[in-house]
Amino acid sequence: MTNDNTTHFGFKEVPKQEKVALVRGVFDSVASQYDVMNDLMSLGIHRIWKRVAVQLANVREGDQVLDLAGGTGDLTTLFEKRVGKKGRVVLADINAAMLRTGRDRLINRGLAGNIEYAQVNAECLPFADNTFDCVCIGFGLRNVTDKDAALRSMYRVLKPGGRVIVLEFSHPTDPITEKVYDFYSFNLLPKIGAIVAKDEDSYRYLAESIRMHPKQDELKRMMEEAGLERCEYFNMTQGIVAVHRGYKF
């Protein structure tokens, strides 16, 4: 049970001021193998989850998009195609190693003109009020120390009429899926991490962080308390992943 000065790092309780450094250590370690591990962890299905999230974002040509926890740039690549040359996508991440990996990948793909990069903390975004048509955070909210502060910050930088998209691992909706998922997460995933990324502990943390993340209805309530309206969520793969969407009016 956490108090005002502590938070969860996986199943561990740690001082709030230490979590950012701990999470940074995880992603510094896995950055170079992050995409390979994503494919192995999800059997490639993460690409479908991301496409669904972008579709639900309803991004149009000329829009301004903030891709938070954008990591190696998968969502930014999809958004870039939709906003076109008149639009802008900001690939943002708190982790410098992940941001460098994403920037290098996008430059190698020839994507540069309408993409910017920013190392930011989601809890205190360094952008003006009412800047973006869409703020998306993909598989990153669970790693944020103060999720409520992050959602409020996302709401602040969103334009009226804009939407927040949260793509995140969530909680299975049926007991059979939950049992299979638990076995995979705590028995197989760390071993895959040890072999491929040479880091068993980081992938054990990632599995634990998913279990500590708010359930679907709780996250919807948190988004509403941050000021977002018409909040809803869409379960995918029996609730293993969910996309939450909320609007600013």
What pLDDT does residue 177 have?
Answer: 95
> What does the domain layout of the chain look like in residue ranges?
18-173+204-247
Q: Check whether 83 has a pLDDT greater than 80.
A: yes
With CA atoms as reference, report the closest residue to 160 among 108, 228, 106, 87. Answer: 228
What pLDDT does residue 27 have?
Answer: 66
Is 193 in contact with 29 (CB distance < 8 Å)? Answer: no
Q: Check whether 8 has a pLDDT greater than 90.
A: no
pLDDT tens sequence across 181-239: 999 888 888 888 788 777 788 778 888 888 889 999 999 999 999 999 999 999 999 99
With CA atoms as reference, report the closest residue to 63 among 86, 96, 31. Answer: 86
Whole-angstrom distance, CA of residue 70 vs CA of residue 93? 6
**18-173+204-247: which CATH architecture?**
3-Layer(aba) Sandwich (3.40)
pLDDT tens sequence across 109-119: 898 789 999 99
With CA atoms as reference, report the closest residue to 217 among 182, 192, 242. Answer: 242
What pLDDT does residue 55 have?
Answer: 98
**Higher pLDDT among residues 39 and 77, named by residue:** 77
Q: Is 3 annotated as a binding residue?
A: no
With CA atoms as reference, report the closest residue to 193 among 202, 185, 184. Answer: 202
Residues in the chain: 249
Q: What is the mean pLDDT of residues 54-73?
A: 96
What pLDDT does residue 21 have?
Answer: 77
Q: Is 112 annotated as a binding residue?
A: no
CA-to-CA dists, residue 61 to 82, 163, 167, angstroms: 6, 15, 22
Q: Check whether 37 has a pLDDT greater than 80.
A: no
Q: Is 173 annotated as a binding residue?
A: no
Q: pTM for the full model?
A: 0.89
Whole-angstrom distance, CA of residue 182 vs CA of residue 187? 8
What pLDDT does residue 11 have?
Answer: 76
- Any residues with CB less than 8 A from the CB of 229 and at least 6 apart, and which? 246, 247, 248, 249
What pLDDT does residue 30 have?
Answer: 62
DSSP letter string, 98-144: HHHHHHHHHHHTT--TTEEEEE--GGG--S-TT-EEEEEEES-GGG-
pLDDT tens sequence across 123-132: 999 999 999 9
pLDDT tens sequence across 41-51: 777 899 999 99
When pLDDT is cut at 50, 70 and 90, the band that residue 57 belongs to is very high
According to DSSP, residue 188 is labeled I
Q: What is the mean pLDDT of residues 86-107?
A: 93
Q: Is 72 annotated as a binding residue?
A: yes
Q: What is the mean pLDDT of residues 125-151?
A: 96
Whole-angstrom distance, CA of residue 96 vs CA of residue 14? 23
Least confident stretch, 1-5, 13-17, 84-88, 243-247: 1-5
